[in-house]
Amino acid sequence: MKVTFEINGAEKSVDVEARTLVVDLIRTKLGMTGTHIGCDTSNCGACTVLLDGRPVKSCTLLAPMLEGRKVTTVEGLAQGGKLDAIQEGFHAEHGLQCGFCTPGMMLVGKALIEANPHPTEDEIRWGISGNICRCTGYMNIVKAIQHAAAANAAENVAGVA
């Protein structure tokens, strides 16, 4: 069947089997391999993408569910060669090691600070608790999200002035 949707700002129309998981559609059909598969059971969050701005686990969505919707993957974070604040935060705070959970973590973090620009540490920890990281112990991921929130806040102040 044919499914039409927007991904990272570009419209796509693809022919897929109805049972195709969104993560497989993105990785295999579209060749965008930044979205990862870690568990198949919606527990680990390595496959997280944003669907109309909200984080979803793409291993648990079927391709037809994308019809008419907007998807953002890690490949869509940097704009015009400039890293998103969340990417800057992960680099500056050593929020990644093996990098496998990183795309999902960054997307969850980005959605979190867009909904709540000044989250507490507990709010961040709760917000990312659907995503597993085996390497970092989360402390630097929390700092990375705080770093991005602070950068966004500074930019907003600058924008107002």
- Tell which residue, 27, 111, 28, 23, has the closest CA to residue 60: 23
Q: How many whole angstroms separate alpha carbon 156 and alpha carbon 54?
A: 22
How many angstroms separate the CA atoms of 133 and 69, rounded? 28
Q: List the one residue from 132, 150, 151, 153 that touches another protein (CB under 8 A).
A: 132
Are β-strands 48-51 and 54-57 bridged in parallel, bridged antiparallel, or unpaired? antiparallel
- When asked if residue 111 is in the footprint of another protein (CB under 8 A), the reply is no
| Between 15 and 68, CB nearer to another protein | 15
19 binds another protein (CB under 8 A): yes
Q: Is 132 helix (H, G, I), strand (E, B) or coil?
A: coil
Residue 96 binding another protein, by CB under 8 A = yes
The interface with another protein within residues 62-81 (CB under 8 A) comprises 73-75, 77-78
Q: Which residue has the tokens 């195709």?
A: 20
Closer CB to another protein, residue 17 or residue 155? 17
CA distance 89 to 139: 13
Q: Which stretch binds another protein (CB under 8 A): 34-42, 62-70, 111-119, 149-157?
A: 34-42
- Tell me which stretch binds another protein (CB under 8 A): 61-69, 95-103, 111-119, 147-155: 95-103
Integer Cα distance of 54 and 51 in angstroms: 5
**Least distance in angstroms from the C-beta of 7 to another protein:** 13
**Is 51 an interacting residue with respect to another protein (CB under 8 A)?**
no
Four-point Cα dihedral 22, 53, 45, 127, nearest 10 = -160
- Residues found near another protein in the complex (CB under 8 A): 17, 19-20, 24, 27, 31-41, 43-44, 46, 73-75, 77-78, 83, 87, 90-92, 94, 96-103, 106, 124-126, 128-142
